[in-house]
Amino acid sequence: MPVTIRMNPSVLIVVLLAGGLNAAPDGAALFQTQCAACHGSRGEGVAGKVDEPLQGKRSLAGLAKYIDRFMPEDHPEKCQGDDANRVAEWIFGAFYSPAARANAQAPRLQLSHLTNEQYRQTVADLFGLFTGRPGEFTGGGLEARYFNAEKMEQRKEHLVDRIDSQIVLDPAVLAGVPKLKPGSFSVTWTGSLFAPETGDYGFRGITENGVKLFLNPLPWREGREEVPVIDGWVSRGDQPRIEEARLFLTGGRPYPVRVQFLAYGQKSASLRFEWKPPGGVWELVPATYLSKSWAPAVAVPTTGFPPDDASQGYERGIAVSNEWFDAVVRASVELADFASQNLDSLAGTKPGAPDRDEKIRTCCVRFAERAFRRPLAEPQRSALLKDFDPENPETTVRELVMRVLCSPRFLYPLPPGAPTDGFATAASLALSLWDSVPDEPLWQAAAKDRLTTAEQIGEQARRMLANPRARHKLNGFFRHWLALGGAERMAKDPKTFPSFDEHLIADLAVSLGLFLDEVVWNGNADYRDLLLADFLHVSPRMAAFYGLPPVAGEGFTKVSLPTAQRAGVLTHPYLMASLAYYKSSSPIHRGVFVTRNVLGRTLKPPPMAIEFMDDRFDPSLTMREKVTQLTSKPACMSCHELINPLGFSLENFDAAGRWRDRDAGKPVDPTGSYPTTQGESLALRGPRDLATQAIASPEASRSFLIQLFQHTVKQAPQAYGPDTVDQLHASFTTDQYHIRNLLARIAATAAAPQPNPATP
Amino acid sequence: MIHSSRRQLLRTLGLSAAALPFTGILRAADPPPAPRRRIVFVFSPNGTVPDEFWPDSPGPDFTFKRILSPLTEFRDRTLLLRGISNKVRGDGDGHMRGMGCMLTGIELLPGNIQGGSDTPAGWASGISFDQELKNHLQSNPATRTRVGSLSLGVAVPNRADPWTRWSYSGANQPITPLDDPSRVFQTLYGGIKDKKTLGSVLDGVAAELRDFAAKAPPADRELLERHLTHVRELERKLQQTDAAPMRHPVPPPDPRLELVNDRIPEISRAQIELLVGAFANDDTRVATIQYTHSVGQARMTWLGIPDAHHSLSHDPDHAKESHEKLVKINQWFAGEIAHLAKRLASIPEADGQGTLLDHTTILWTNELGKGNSHSQDNLPFLLLGGGLGFKTGRVLDLGGIPHNRLWLAIAHALGHPLTTFGKPELCHDGPLPLA
């Protein structure tokens, strides 16, 4: 096809003439006469008519069929049959298809600064290089030591040491400690606490006695005792009270924790130690997040950063605003204080040590090298330390840390003009898989020139997947892929769904997390299981609400459900409830989600904003009937012919994600016919069918791959070569759709040495 | 008590980014109108040694005994108040009540903290007098200062209980004294120091950005240009906030000063220097300095006394050696008071009307009258300086009145005519006449 035609009036005339001679106008000419008025002469759009460019993922046949049925919008009968085929052919080759767009403008690697999450993970790991590695986080609870107290001796008589899975003192617990004096005793719990997500955490002790919480203690000066986050040591009479604090934590890592309790001369003793993780509810800290293992303090800046740019559907560091730069400076001051105040322990020395100076200098160089992600050559090394003041190393270090953390070399992890060597590869791998900087083994691999071949890079990528940071990163992807941002704040009509409260929502979130963990990290990591698996993790609260068989115990039980009702994440009640209205299901939200996120098809923004107002409809109509009525106009149906059948296939799930057979007193009809990109019609008979069709669709798995790539690398995959997606997709398919291997391959692809962007 | 996170904690300590220069320490170029009146409450623990503290007889004709001998040059500016008792009773042992009820004048709440005797107790049930004065002065634009009040400590353990806190912003709200000179400096002047550092950091950032832009493909240059614009913007802001220089420049304390027992003399002097600076710059007019804590166990090795202070204070009167050591310990505290007075007397007021000491009163007291009896009578109240307009150069014996009435007298002298403070029953007969 002549895809390079530049439309100017003279060419147009030639084309028209040529068309005239052949008696049938060719596609380009047809487009100009029938379509260009709204779409622009190159499909770029016309302000006030069709704003967005004419692009999409339909196959040529699908596009032709679509034009045949719906275009031009006001007179679909004017372009049908062969005309529709010819127009479709021209559009497809000229600008519509992904291939045409890739030829026209290949995406390039875009210079980006660290995203907020990358900044937080990076500084935590940078300082972590000097604070030691945490022990293996096993979960299960904290180490508890119980003592009887007498007057000023809070540890007068040692009673027992044990592991407590939860930090709670109630009559049953107290009865379990022999010889305990109920009104006068002390307990200390120690170990580490895992923060699953980045954000604000609430902590509180509910007690009539004394409670202290030390969490991630950062002493102001070395040698001082740590400052408690909660200091409720002194009780106030015998009334239970709430001692509460909030703390911002960087997710995906353990923090050192110690909880202390004291009852003395009091009538009663009790404690509930609870947390409220980001988006969660107040609850006893679950044992999964408590471990007796040791963890070092983590550098966590409290400065808030403005949100990252997400205009392309994934977060990346291309927004440079005043607020961002301000946050960079403020955070650097906070971290500089942290470094200068903890200098001796970070540098592994102590005041007065003969080699203190030397150790601090070494520490400074190592810090800068790791922050800049490559070794410093001699002149840079001297420049870094040229202001080093042996009389006052704290001040020097403070300034140096500010200098390093404000430096573009730190903020732009893959800077222009940097050599394409092993260190660049290592930096890219660490960013992709951990949002962070290389750890020691990765750094050493780069230093020893063992990051050159695809095998070497792949080997490192696979090693890095075993680190909890990789899991943290992948969790972030799933939140994004499943559009769960803000889902924890959903609300349902309390009359229709009496016990759908914040606790149930929190359970649903955990349940989905457990499902993803099971599929991605425990099993074959098969992408198809994400959509097809028949099991669900059920809490007692969920069992009661969803009418499932009762489950034993407090926690979650993995239950297999009838396959007709269960299809992986697609039918998970958390997702179904979040993609629904206050009182009713929403086939449109569900359909749009499936179309875009699962099947990877593009949708234009709606031509007009129509609010769904339930009370405008005859109450005897089913939701399906209402939506059909609402979207019946041709202008709507150009997208809703796709959206509606997909949404309708999930109509067996009500607004809370509960299975139903009837809606508005009539049987639910989940069947429909869905037009594929190939222009075929596929029959859908319900959720299971939907999932089966999705996993059979190469577009869906490609789309999953592209979204994962974007989230991981924060660049367009095509920027790494026009065949990148094809190659990754081919290996994904032959590899039984193994998600973890795909992730490793994506990271390795992005980390492979790239040609240097052309210098001007 | 709700700490809204470390962020809040840091903010309270003045450490957060709020201390950055571009959010501003802006200083008035002209000093506010006179008269300024200032007060600093100084605490030392474990009772005094009465026979070496109190002059032999009341009245204007007295000579200092050994403990107060370091203050000889300030004899005429000193007012000694004998016969004042802490009459607040209730939960807690003598040390606890001596500490927690001193500045608050009201009972401790019931609690779980148990001393060697009496009943367990919790925090004080009211605001402390220094904070009451601060709130009063801050409510009036003419007396408002940048910081409002400064709660300093010397060798205070990092442990919050009724023995370690004497200042309260309200019932159940003890204030943590700042016992690290570097932290005090950061709180007061951190922004100024950061500004210089930041200026040099930004120079480096701008140079690197220009280097990047030269190497970057054209499409990426816009991002770097924008980054550079923000760097220049911040540089400009830094220059704009160049405010009037501090009238009394305060050098940063030695960052290597370790916060350990043997460094107490240096810590004390560093804190005094910061306090004098804060007064000279009119950053605050109310302050407290807390030496160790009630039941404090300082070992004054620099005086050749390796024994722990509180343990010594329990020895009987006839134990000559301990008696001698306790005299030396209390004399050391008097020496610090004298040093503070000397520093205040050496700095002229901004308006040229006398020195800082002419408008500052140092009030030194203790949680006990006598250590081995845990008596709360004859608390050693010493007032020095001209901040309140009281008649100095005399010793008064007030015969056992509640200390709440002293707070009323000070409040009245500072233009805050309270009728009661703390426990109302202890305020009968109103402010002590001291003018």
pLDDT (average), residues A482-505: 90
Q: What is residue A224's predicted lDDT score, i.e. its pLDDT?
A: 61
Distance between B166 CA and the closest CA of chain A, angstroms: 14
Q: Give CA separation, B116 vs A150, A153, B28, B93, B119, in Å.
A: 10, 10, 51, 7, 9
**Residue located via tokens 């707070």:** B407
Residue closest to B395 by CA, chosen among B56, B43, B91: B56
Nearest CA in chain B to A113: B223
Q: What is residue B305's predicted lDDT score, i.e. its pLDDT?
A: 95
| Interface size between A and B, measured as CB pairs under 8 A | 186
Q: Is residue B253 domain-resident?
A: no
Distance CA B373, CA A89 (A): 104
Q: Is residue B432 domain-resident?
A: no
Q: Are B118 and B255 spatial neighbours (Cβ–Cβ below 8 Å)?
A: no
Residue B4, pLDDT above cutoff 90 = no
A9-104 CATH, one of 3.40.50.300, 1.10.357.10, 1.10.760.10, 3.30.70.370: 1.10.760.10
Pick the more confident residue, B146 or A653.
A653
What mean pLDDT is reported for chain B?
A: 88
Q: Give CA separation, B180 vs A224, A228, A472, B184, B248, in Å.
A: 10, 17, 39, 6, 21
Residue A653, pLDDT above cutoff 60 = yes
Residue closest to A272 by CA, chosen among A231, A244, A236, A238: A244
Structural domain containing residue B42: 36-180+259-427
**CATH architecture for the domain at A142-291:** Sandwich (2.60)
- DSSP state, B294? T
What residues 4-43 of chain B have any CB closer than 8 A to a CB of chain A? Answer: 4-7, 9-10, 13, 15-17, 20
Nearest to A235 among B112, B216, B256 (CB): B112
Residues in A touching B182 (Cβ below 8 Å): 221
Q: What is residue A105's predicted lDDT score, i.e. its pLDDT?
A: 66
Q: Is residue B408 domain-resident?
A: yes
Nearest to B198 among A218, A234, A329 (CB): A329
Residue A391, pLDDT above cutoff 90 = no
Q: Is residue B96 domain-resident?
A: yes
* A292 band by pLDDT with thresholds 50, 70 and 90: very high
In sequence order, the β-bridge partners of residue B395 are B59, B80
Cβ–Cβ of A111/B16 closer than 8 Å? no
pLDDT (average), residues B122-146: 94
Residues B304 and B229 in one domain: no
> What digits encode the pLDDT tens for the residues B380-401?
999 999 999 999 999 999 999 9
Residues B202 and B133 in one domain: no
* Mutual angle of helices A698-713 and A422-434, in 10-degree steps: 110
Q: Is residue B435 domain-resident?
A: no
Q: Are A397 and A404 spatial neighbours (Cβ–Cβ below 8 Å)?
A: no
Nearest to A234 among B113, B183, B218 (CB): B113
In sequence order, the β-bridge partners of residue A46 are A50
Amino acid identity of residue A15, one-letter, is V
Residues 6+ apart with CB under 8 A from B247: B31, B280, B281, B350
Residues B145 and B13 in one domain: no
Residue closest to B424 by CA, chosen among B120, B107, B57: B107
Nearest to B112 among A266, A325, A329 (CB): A266
**Residue located via tokens 């009063």:** B136
Residues B221 and B173 in one domain: no
Residues B65 and B128 in one domain: yes
CATH code 2.60.120.1560 region(s) in chain A: 142-291
Cβ–Cβ of B200/A266 closer than 8 Å? no
Residue A9, pLDDT above cutoff 60 = no
> What digits encode the pLDDT tens for the residues B199-256?
889 999 999 999 999 999 888 998 999 999 999 988 887 776 655 567 888 888 887 7
Residues in A touching B160 (Cβ below 8 Å): 231, 233-234
Q: Are B194 and A398 spatial neighbours (Cβ–Cβ below 8 Å)?
A: no
Q: At A275, which helix (H) or strand (E)? A: strand A271-276
Number of domains in chain B: 2
Residue B23, pLDDT above cutoff 60 = no
Residues B149 and B73 in one domain: yes
Residue closest to A329 by CA, chosen among B226, B202, B13: B202
- Provide the pairing of β-strand B78-85 with B394-402: parallel
Q: Are B165 and B158 spatial neighbours (Cβ–Cβ below 8 Å)?
A: no
Residues B406 and B284 in one domain: yes
pLDDT (average), residues A659-672: 94
Q: Per the structure block, which two tokens stand in for A115?
A: 């995203």
Residue B139, pLDDT above cutoff 50 = yes
Q: Omega before B35 cis (within 30°)?
A: yes
Distance CA A35, CA A31 (A): 5
Q: What is residue A300's predicted lDDT score, i.e. its pLDDT?
A: 93
Residue closest to A567 by CA, chosen among A693, A662, A703, A661: A693
Amino acid identity of residue B353, one-letter, is Q
Residue B121, pLDDT above cutoff 60 = yes
Residue closest to B225 by CA, chosen among A36, A408, A688: A408
pTM for the whole thing?
0.79
> What digits encode the pLDDT tens for the residues A187-199?
999 999 999 999 9
> What digits encode the pLDDT tens for the residues B251-310?
888 877 888 899 999 999 999 999 999 999 999 999 999 999 999 999 999 999 999 999
Q: At A98, which helix (H) or strand (E)? A: helix A98-104
Distance between B115 CA and the closest CA of chain A, angstroms: 6
pLDDT (average), residues A475-481: 93
What mean pLDDT is reported for chain A?
A: 88
Percent of chain B with pLDDT over 70: 90
Cβ–Cβ of B227/A415 closer than 8 Å? no
Cβ–Cβ of A220/B208 closer than 8 Å? no
Residue B124, pLDDT above cutoff 70 = yes
Q: Is residue B391 domain-resident?
A: yes
Distance CA A455, CA A440 (A): 19
Q: Which residue spans within A391-471 are E strands per DSSP?
A: none
pLDDT (average), residues A473-493: 90
Distance CA A749, CA A745 (A): 6
Neighbours of A365 (CB within 10 A): 17
Residues B143 and B289 in one domain: yes
- DSSP per residue over A715-758, as a string? S-GGGG-TTHHHHHHHHHHHTTTBHHHHHHHHHHHHHSPPPPPP
Residues in A touching B18 (Cβ below 8 Å): none
* A674 band by pLDDT with thresholds 50, 70 and 90: confident
Distance CA A110, CA B264 (A): 57
Q: Is residue B397 domain-resident?
A: yes
- Provide the pairing of β-strand A271-276 with A283-284: antiparallel
Q: Per the structure block, which two tokens stand in for A691?
A: 């999932």
Residues B298 and B339 in one domain: yes
Instruction: Examine the fold and report which residue of B214, B247, B280 is the final residue of a domain before the chain moves on.
Output: B247
Q: What is residue A72's predicted lDDT score, i.e. its pLDDT?
A: 86
Distance between B404 CA and the closest CA of chain A, angstroms: 24
Least confident of A75-79, A438-442, B153-157: A75-79
Residues 6+ apart with CB under 8 A from A57: A97, A98, A600, A601, A602, A677, A699
Nearest to A235 among B122, B159, B260 (CB): B122
Residue closest to B378 by CA, chosen among B360, B365, B362: B365
Pick the more confident residue, A19 or B331.
B331
Q: What is residue A612's predicted lDDT score, i.e. its pLDDT?
A: 82
CA-atom Rg of chain A in angstroms? 30
Interface test with B, best of A224, A236, A341 (most B CBs within 10 A): A236
Cβ–Cβ of B122/A326 closer than 8 Å? no
Residues B43 and B88 in one domain: yes
CA B93, B99, B105, B107 torsion-angle sign: negative
Q: What is residue A342's predicted lDDT score, i.e. its pLDDT?
A: 86
* Burial annotation A478-491 (CB, 10 A radius, 16+ → b, else e): bbbbbbbeebbebe
Q: Is residue B434 domain-resident?
A: no
Instruction: Examine the fold and report which residue of B247, B280, B299 is the final residue of a domain before the chain moves on.
Output: B247
Residues B212 and B271 in one domain: no
* A154 band by pLDDT with thresholds 50, 70 and 90: confident
Distance CA A167, CA A215 (A): 14
Nearest to A220 among B110, B183, B212 (CB): B183
The separation between the first and the last C-alpha atoms of chain B, rounded to the nearest angstrom, is 40
Residues B215 and B332 in one domain: no
> What digits encode the pLDDT tens for the residues A78-137?
888 888 888 888 888 778 887 777 666 667 889 999 999 999 999 999 999 998 888 899
Q: Are B254 and B120 spatial neighbours (Cβ–Cβ below 8 Å)?
A: no
Q: Are A107 and B219 spatial neighbours (Cβ–Cβ below 8 Å)?
A: no
* A251 band by pLDDT with thresholds 50, 70 and 90: very high
Distance CA A476, CA A712 (A): 10
Cβ–Cβ of B231/A325 closer than 8 Å? yes
Pick the more confident residue, B114 or B412.
B412
Residue closest to A43 by CA, chosen among A104, A35, A29: A35
- Provide the pairing of β-strand A290-291 with A230-232: unpaired
What is the interface pTM, i.e. ipTM, of the complex? Answer: 0.81
Q: What is residue B242's predicted lDDT score, i.e. its pLDDT?
A: 56
Q: What is residue A623's predicted lDDT score, i.e. its pLDDT?
A: 94
